[in-house]
Amino acid sequence: MIIVHHLDNSRSQRVLWLLEELGLPYEIRRYQRDPATLFAPPELRRVHPLGKAPVIEDEGRVIAESGAIVEYLVEKADGRFGPPAGRDAALRYRMFLHYAEGSVMPPLLVKLVLSRVPIMGRIAMRRIQPMIDVHLDYIEAELAQRPWFAGEQISGADVMMSFPLEAARARGGLGEARPNIIAWLDKVHARPAYRTALEKGGPYAYSR
């Protein structure tokens, strides 16, 4: 049985979604953020030294990092939700799998931090939003070319991209001016596996 160490309002929600899509059995162990700092509780450090979520345990292994977890679960499910056939599609899959955390999330996190800094933070955010907009414009153009990030079928790349785009909709300036991204998010949120993962995971600030 896979154990998911699940932190509220975190990247671990997309791990629950992938598990539901793949039909793999799992157990949830819940953790709550500190209401003042919004940091993960110290109990998570007993699971993994970084003390962050998501973390899964399976067959004696402790695996951290969303991308690594997605790849592990895809492999465990015999390649379902893995890279599509064809070299170009497979390369797109790998790129978006890493792009989600390597490029899109950093400016969104910076904007979140700055939003909590009075006056000077608001001024600095004016520099961050154009950086976010570059990514949103790029993603909008990509989704104009195909229904899912890697190609014609949903994959682990879409699972990885869900959290940054949900965060962008909540706090990164993503709105109806980018209809391809909004339509993609609506498709994701309408999937039965996504809805089931929400029910099991509990309150999640970024879904609609």
Q: What is the pLDDT of residues 64-87, one digit of tens each?
A: 999 999 999 999 999 999 999 999
Is residue 99 within a helix (H) or strand (E), and if so which, with residue range?
Answer: helix 87-99
> In this predicted model, what pLDDT tens digit does every residue of 86-95 receive, in sequence order?
999 999 999 9
Domain with CATH 1.20.1050.10 in the chain: 87-191
Question: Measured between alpha carbons, how far is 44 from 30 in angstroms, rounded to an integer?
Answer: 10
> Which residues, listed in sequence order, are joined to residue 64 by a DSSP beta bridge?
55
Choosing among 3.40.50.300, 3.75.10.20, 3.40.30.10, 3.40.50.10420, the CATH entry for 2-81+193-201 is 3.40.30.10
**Quick one: tokens of 91?**
């390369």
What per-residue confidence (pLDDT) applies to 208?
A: 63
What per-residue confidence (pLDDT) applies to 76?
A: 98
Choosing among 3.30.70.580, 1.10.3720.10, 3.90.1150.10, 1.20.1050.10, the CATH entry for 87-191 is 1.20.1050.10
Handedness of CA 151, 154, 160, 165 (dihedral sign): positive
Answer yes or no: are the C-beta atoms of 135 and 96 closer than 8 Å. Answer: no
Question: Measured between alpha carbons, how far is 120 from 105 in angstroms, rounded to an integer?
Answer: 22
Answer yes or no: are the C-beta atoms of 48 and 90 closer than 8 Å. Answer: no
> In this predicted model, what pLDDT tens digit does every residue of 167-193 receive, in sequence order?
999 989 999 999 999 999 999 999 999
pLDDT tier for residue 205 given thresholds of 50, 70 and 90: confident
24 Cβ contact list (under 8 Å, min separation 6): 2, 73, 76, 77
Domain with CATH 3.40.30.10 in the chain: 2-81+193-201
CB count in 10 Å sphere of residue 208? 9
> In this predicted model, what pLDDT tens digit does every residue of 18-67 receive, in sequence order?
999 999 999 999 998 888 887 899 999 999 999 999 999 999 999 999 99
**Quick one: tokens of 32?**
């709550």
pTM of the model as a whole: 0.94
The residue whose two tokens read 């989600």 is 100
Question: Measured between alpha carbons, how far is 107 from 64 in angstroms, rounded to an integer?
Answer: 22
> In this predicted model, what pLDDT tens digit does every residue of 111-124 receive, in sequence order?
887 777 676 667 76
